[in-house]
Structure 1
Amino acid sequence: MAGAHIDFELDSIDAERRFLRTYLAAAWDRFEASDFFETGWFWRYGQFNEYFGQDGGRVFLVFDGNPEDLIETEEDCWRNFDGLDSWELHRYESSDALRGGGWELDEEYGSVLEEQKARKGEEGGDWQYRLLPLAAQFSLAYLSEFGDTLPAVAEQSEANHTGVGFWSLHHYTMIQCGYDWYDETDSCLKGIKYRLKTLANDFDPETAREEYTRLKAELEAYEEEFEEWLAENPNGDAEDL
């Protein structure tokens, strides 16, 4: 078994969406039932095009397994997929192969697990290695069920009393997995702090500061609205929950 990722270049965002919904969602069961796929996940990048002035779609399939057997089994599907321009294998055990493709590693690794532990620490790497396949399974099920139709944050309305949207999944899974109110707010705060740092990394410090200022202003402005809500709902029993 070896660590690798395959970089898929697609000619449009629509092709990226179809690749995930009609190909990868169906292929995932084949992967997991095969001898050439131990575990893995995927990343998609088309949603970032508007920020970087890029066109087309892009998907990275990251996995531990036998890359050559996976390609041999699946490449006919790839050749016949309308909108898939190219694919390129990058093996983690070969530093030369890892250069380019938007994915740079500073050393060679025998597996994705080894790379994850080197980047995230022994415990963090192990947890991420186990969490990301679960996220991939969910994401493919979500895309098959909803496509890209759910808003990240939905407005409350007569048709959507509590503003159910993609944000709700974080709330649902925290409860289903046994976390309480304070675990959830701590988790949201951690996510905000992490995303601010990635904005600085992906753009620049000023972009991150602007987003921090926006979030701070939103929370400060919410105080008055929250106090009004508490006055109207002194027991916290309201229809918008």
Structure 2
Amino acid sequence: MVTGMVVRFITDSHRADEALIRGYLVPSLHRLNAIDGCDGIRFYRLGSDTRRNDGEVRLAIFGDYEAVIDAERNRWDELATEGSIEYWEVDETPSAMGYPHNVGTFYQRLDVLTTEMAALYYQTFDERPEPVDAFPDVELPTPIGWWVAFHLLMNQLGYSPKDEIQACFQCIDNRLFALTALEDSDYAREYIADLHMRLDDIEARIDAREQEKADDYYSGPD
């Protein structure tokens, strides 16, 4: 059975969330995971919620969360005293605990794995790459941005192009419903209409290449 607890760090801005992650969470991740009884750590951000004027980073602690909280509470108090956060509080159980055991265990493994991957990202990039086109001033056959990291990972793990499309579509499904909450249903519908146009454009380009009998149908990342 998955056990754990979530600690909320309230900040004054999205920028403060970034500073907290880079300045405290990433450098502390290995140490937190090494605390006796800790079964893994996940951090995630809520400060990008457009309905909020402040920031928030949550820390999901799996296993003996009380041991982690006891070991770190003085440091968290220092973060508040020095102004890195407004305050911290113990809040709720992690999302993984809301599922049946096998699903919750899988979710927890994803929580911990993606946090380790994110830590490597923060150690690699000083600035957040654009999601689609990080080089808008460079003429490329396919834009190169953060989306390539997802594509490369899917390839490295052995997923097929169809698998990758299905995963991307599920992300689109999930995030469109998130937009209905963050904005409203009409906003999500406008985005859906834009997606329809993009898909029509892709189909038209595929038709054009087929008519040209092009040998190279694809010129993007391998």
Q: TM-score range by the shorter chain?
A: 0.7 to 0.9
Q: Which among 98, 114, 119 is matched to residue 116 of structure 1?
A: 98
Structure 1 pair 142–134 and aligned structure 2 pair: CA distance change class (3 A): same
Percent sequence identity is 25
Counterpart check, 1:130 vs 2:109: yes
- Amino acid of the structure 2 residue aligned with 1:3: G
- Amino acid of the structure 1 residue aligned with 2:129: L
Give 1:166's aligned residue.
146
Aligned mates of 2:21, 2:213 — CA distance in 1: 44
Q: Any idea what the Cα deviations from partners look like across 1:10-55, whole Å, max 9, x if unmatched?
A: 122222111101210111101111114212311112222xx21x32
| Partner-residue secondary structure (3-state), 2:216 | coil
Q: Which among 198, 202, 208 is matched to residue 222 of structure 1?
A: 202
- Amino acid of the structure 2 residue aligned with 1:150: P
Q: Which among 63, 66, 72 is matched to residue 64 of structure 2?
A: 66
- Amino acid of the structure 2 residue aligned with 1:12: S
TM-score by length of 1: 0.77
Give 1:140's aligned residue.
119
Q: CA RMSD in A?
A: 2.7
Q: Any idea what the Cα deviations from partners look like across 1:133-160, whole Å, max 9, x if unmatched?
A: 1111111221222144200111565376
- Amino acid of the structure 2 residue aligned with 1:171: H
Aligned mates of 1:169, 1:37 — CA distance in 2: 29
Aligned mates of 1:10, 1:125 — CA distance in 2: 29
| Partner-residue secondary structure (3-state), 1:46 | coil
Aligned-pair distance for 1:2?
4.7
TM-score by length of 2: 0.83
| Partner-residue secondary structure (3-state), 2:48 | helix
Give 2:9's aligned residue.
8
Structure 1 pair 91–240 and aligned structure 2 pair: CA distance change class (3 A): closer
| Partner-residue secondary structure (3-state), 2:155 | helix
Aligned mates of 2:213, 2:125 — CA distance in 1: 34
Aligned mates of 1:35, 1:70 — CA distance in 2: 8
Aligned mates of 2:101, 2:64 — CA distance in 1: 24
CA contact 2:10–2:87 (8 Å) conserved in 1: yes
Aligned-pair distance for 1:162?
3.7
| Partner-residue secondary structure (3-state), 2:7 | strand
| Partner-residue secondary structure (3-state), 2:86 | strand
Aligned mates of 2:212, 2:136 — CA distance in 1: 18
Counterpart check, 1:209 vs 2:209: no
| Partner-residue secondary structure (3-state), 2:186 | helix
Q: Any idea what the Cα deviations from partners look like across 1:198-219, whole Å, max 9, x if unmatched?
A: 3234443323222211111121
Aligned-pair distance for 1:185?
1.5
Aligned-pair distance for 1:220?
1.1
Structure 1 pair 160–139 and aligned structure 2 pair: CA distance change class (3 A): farther
CA contact 1:8–1:87 (8 Å) conserved in 2: yes
- Amino acid of the structure 2 residue aligned with 1:77: R
CA contact 2:33–2:41 (8 Å) conserved in 1: no
Give 2:179's aligned residue.
199
Aligned mates of 2:203, 2:98 — CA distance in 1: 41
Give 1:44's aligned residue.
45
